[in-house]
Amino acid sequence: MSTYAVEATDLVKIFGKERAVDGISLQVPKGIVYGFLGPNGAGKTTTIRMLATLLKPNEGHAKVMGYDLTQEADKVRHSISLTGQFASVDEELSGRENLIFIGRLVGYSRKQAKQRADELLQAFQLEDAAKRQVKKYSGGMRRRIDIAASIVTSPELLFLDEPTTGLDPRSRNQVWDIVRALVKNGTTVFLTTQYLEEADQLADLIGVIDRGKLIAEGTSKELKASIGAGSLTVHFDDLDELKKAQNIFVSRFEQQPDINEQDISLTIMIKEHAKAAKAIGELANTNVQIKDFSMSQPSLDEVFLTLTGNVPDHEGGDSSNE
Amino acid sequence: MNKPSTIEEVLTNRTRPKSPTAIQASATFAWRALLRIRYVPEQLFDVTIFPIIFLLMFTYLFGGAISGSTGEYLNFVLPGILVMTVSMITMYTGLDLNKDIEKGVFDRFRSLPIWQPSVLVGALLVDTLRYLIASTIMVTLGYILGFRPEAGFSGVIMGVAILLLFSFSLSWIWTMLGIIVRSEKALMGISMMFLFPLTFLSSVFVDPSTMPNWLQRFVDINPITFVVDAVRTLIHGTEANGDVMIVIYISIALIVIFGPLTMYFFKNK
């Protein structure tokens, strides 16, 4: 038995003239959450669709759960489940009907399928909406029914394409809890996201993808070490205090902060959180009056800036959906 | 079995039943199509309204001119209009699929370990049921208006049965086009371009022997003519002249050619 859920070598997918996926190689160990991080149109969805047997790669090959993607597509389909970026259930049907329907398709008897549907509705707190058409669901409910449909039989590998895009924070946390529960039970989860925070929260291993290429890979810690923990912004009551603080930062940390005189604030990039604490402590020790301060996560743009030297190309829309 | 209440509990259920057979999977997709009709009953408009309008319109419009009386013409034209109406309704199969297939749920279908044609076969089976509804409405209305099948009830059943076989087979063309063609409008245009001449330039409305020679030549090789003649033969119990077998061959040929083509485009979409 292979220890990898996904082993891909030089996958290439060409749409017309565009190399949507341009030589991606991956090794995803079983039992982890693999986070595929990248902007719109980077090739995330195309890669997932290839690994889920929906698209044939133009070049390269891959094994999913130990089975060859093209030679043993049916066996791959037995081991995986896919929750697409857009509704992956039938919106015209009710939640319960959808789950029964999928249950029948994976081979349950009518009775088993109904029983399984009710279990899942209860577990995903969708009992009250069971008989409502999915198109009348809220965004969070829709995502939950999508995922519930994917685990009608617990898959060994679950693909989640941007599971939380467009969700409110509460629904997002629910989805995260679901993902954690899945992994705890031995399912490998391969998810794509545009949010660094999501990859940070969930993924054991993060692959950063841009323009069809994997440009960095590592744990959240490793990536952060190269990117930095984010930025520290300090607000002051007046410009004098700001100037004092600026001097301290320059002399103690050998860093020139960005000054915003209108806001009376300064911002510095920092490698790790401990350093931020030290900097605030230093200001307090020298009696600089600060109004407030805040830390912010590095944005995806900053990650890309650090890794590639330029901001991701948001042009070209979502070519990956073709 | 206790009712598990948390996500972790439902996940521990790792039973993995055997994949459904081709028939089971097709039946499940047919069930989906039936459920959708239940939610949107308007989907049945085409199969209920069309037969009524077509039958009334053509019987009373042409009856006097062609046969001298509507009563006599009805007996001649009903099998023809039946074939024409149902053939035209098959077009909606492609239109529905064209909209449906853009939805994310088709990705899920295609990533399931099932006999892939069942996705389409199931839908087509329910469409065949729709054709049966259309046929029933038309024959019933015809009967009220004075239509009398000479081969009796069993002839009508045989006639409708051969028509359903042909329609199911013909649907594969629209299904294929529904997958390839990008917009509903274009699809409508293409379907009409074929269906209009094929249904009108046939033996639906008049005996081909009244047509000019060059037109007869086209009408004689038009598949719709064979279907109309076969249905007419079965319904009125006239001498069986091999048309029925020809329709069966045409139907099989349509499935053999367009079935695999459709699946090819479906898989590589």
3-state secondary structure chain A: CCCEEEEEEEEEEEECCEEEEEEEEEEEECCCEEEEECCCCCCHHHHHHHHCCCCCCCEEEEEECCEECCCCHHHHHHHEEEECCCCCCCCCCEHHHHHHHHHHHCCCCHHHHHHHHHHHHHHCCCHHHCCCEHHHCCHHHHHHHHHHHHCCCCCCEEEEECCCCCCCHHHHHHHHHHHHHHHHCCCEEEEEECCHHHHHHHCCEEEEEECCEEEEEECHHHHHHHHCCEEEEEEECCHHHHHHHHHHHHHHHCCCCEEECCCCEEEEEECCHHHHHHHHHHHHHCCCCEEEEEEECCCHHHHHHHHHCCCCCCCCCCHHHC
In contact, B208 and B220? CB cutoff 8 Å: yes
| pLDDT value of position A114 | 95
For chain B, the domain total comes to 1
B123 in contact with A, Cβ within 8 Å: no
Q: Do A93 and B15 touch (CB under 8 A)?
A: no
pLDDT at A320: 40
Confidence band of A322 (pLDDT split at 50, 70, 90): very low
Q: Which two tokens stand for residue A138?
A: 């809220």
The Cα–Cα gap between A180 and A185 comes to 9
Q: How confident is the model at residue B119 (pLDDT cuts 50, 70, 90)?
A: very high
Question: If contacts are CB pairs under 8 Å, which of residues 171-190 in chain A contact chain B?
Answer: 177-178, 181-182, 184-185, 187
Averaged pLDDT for residues B13-41: 88
Structure tokens at A241: 């205090």
Cα separation, A6 vs A66, in Å, equals 8
Chain A, 245 to 274: residues with Cβ < 8 Å from chain B are: none
pLDDT tens-place string over residues A277-312: 888 888 888 888 888 888 877 766 677 777 766 655
Chain A residue at shortest CA distance from B106: A88
Please give the structure tokens belonging to residue B161.
């049965």
pLDDT computed for residue A50 by the predictor? 93
DSSP, collapsed to helix, strand or coil, labels residue B183 as coil
- For residues B166-191, average pLDDT: 92
What ipTM, to 2 d.p.? 0.84
Strands A205-210 and A33-37: parallel
Q: What is the pLDDT confidence band of residue B186, given thresholds at 50, 70 and 90? A: very high
Higher pLDDT, A309 or A211: A211
Kindly list the domain boundaries of chain A, sorted by start residue.
4-225, 229-297
With an 8 Å Cβ cutoff, are B20 and A116 in contact? Answer: no
Supply the DSSP symbol for B16.
Answer: -
Each residue of B225-266: pLDDT tens digit? 999 999 999 998 876 668 899 999 999 999 999 999 999 998
Provide the chain A residues 67-106 that lie in CB contact (below 8 A) with chain B.
74-75, 77-78, 80-82, 84-93, 97, 101-102, 104-106
The CATH architecture to which A229-297 belongs is 2-Layer Sandwich (3.30)
Nearest CA in chain A to B11: A154
Whether B163 maps to a domain, the answer reads yes
Residue B2 counted as domain residue: no
Residue A100 token pair:
């029964």
Cβ pair B17:A84 closer than 8 A: no
**Cβ contact, residue pair A153, B16, below 8 Å:** yes
A217 lies within 8 A of chain B by CB: no
* A158 and B CB contact within 8 Å: no
Those of residues 91-120 in B touching chain A at CB distance below 8 A are 103-105, 107-114
CB-based contact A52 B31, cutoff 8 Å: no
On the question of pLDDT at B160 being above 70, the answer is yes
Average pLDDT, chain B: 88
Minimum distance, in Å, between the CA of residue A321 and any CA atom of chain B: 10
The enclosing H or E element of B79 equals helix B70-89
**Residue A255, pLDDT above cutoff 80:** no
In chain A, which residues have their Cβ closer than 8 Å to the Cβ of B40? Answer: 92
At residue A301, the pLDDT reads 67
Mutate to test the interface with A, among B3, B6, B11 (most CBs of A within 10 A): B11
State whether B114 and A53 contact (CB < 8 Å): no
- Fold classification of A4-225 is Rossmann fold (3.40.50)
Taking each helix axis from N to C end, the angle separating B118-145 and B45-67, rounded to the nearest 10 degrees, works out to 40
Residue A97, φ and ψ in degrees, nearest 5: -60, -40
Average pLDDT, chain A: 86
| Range of the structural domain that residue B128 is part of | 22-30+41-104+111-267
Instruction: Please tell me the predicted confidence (pLDDT) of residue A133.
Output: 94
Q: Among all residues of chain A, which has the CA nearest to that of B5?
A: A123
Helix B152-180 to helix B91-100 angle (10° resolution) is 40
Query: Residue A8 has which token pair?
Result: 């891909």
Of B10, B40, B103, the CB nearest to A119: B10
* Interchain proximity A154–B17, CB inside 8 Å: no
- Inter-chain CB proximity A93 and B32 less than 8 Å: yes
Q: How many CB atoms lie within 10 A of CB A282?
A: 15
Asked if the structure places residue B12 within a domain, the reply is: no
Contact A93 B268 (CB under 8 A): no
List of chain A residues whose C-beta atoms are within 8 Å of the C-beta of residue B268: 56
Phi, psi of A89 (to 5 degrees): -125, 170
Judged against a pLDDT cut of 80, whether residue B53 lies above it is answered with yes
Residue A273 pLDDT level (bands cut at 50, 70, 90): confident
Retrieve residue B228's tokens: 């109309």
- For residue B8, the SS3 value is helix
Q: Would the pLDDT of B179 be above 80?
A: yes
Tell me the residues of chain B between 37 and 56 that have a Cβ less than 8 Å away from chain A: 39-40
Least confident of A124-128, B69-73, B93-97: B69-73
Contacts of B20 in chain A (CB under 8 A): 104-107
Taken in order B157, B163, B169, B173, is the CA torsion positive or negative?
negative
| Nearest CB partner across the interface for B28, out of A80, A87, A105 | A105
Question: Is the CB of residue B209 less than 8 Å away from at least one CB of chain A?
Answer: no
Residue B24 confidence (pLDDT) above 60: yes
In contact, B93 and B254? CB cutoff 8 Å: no
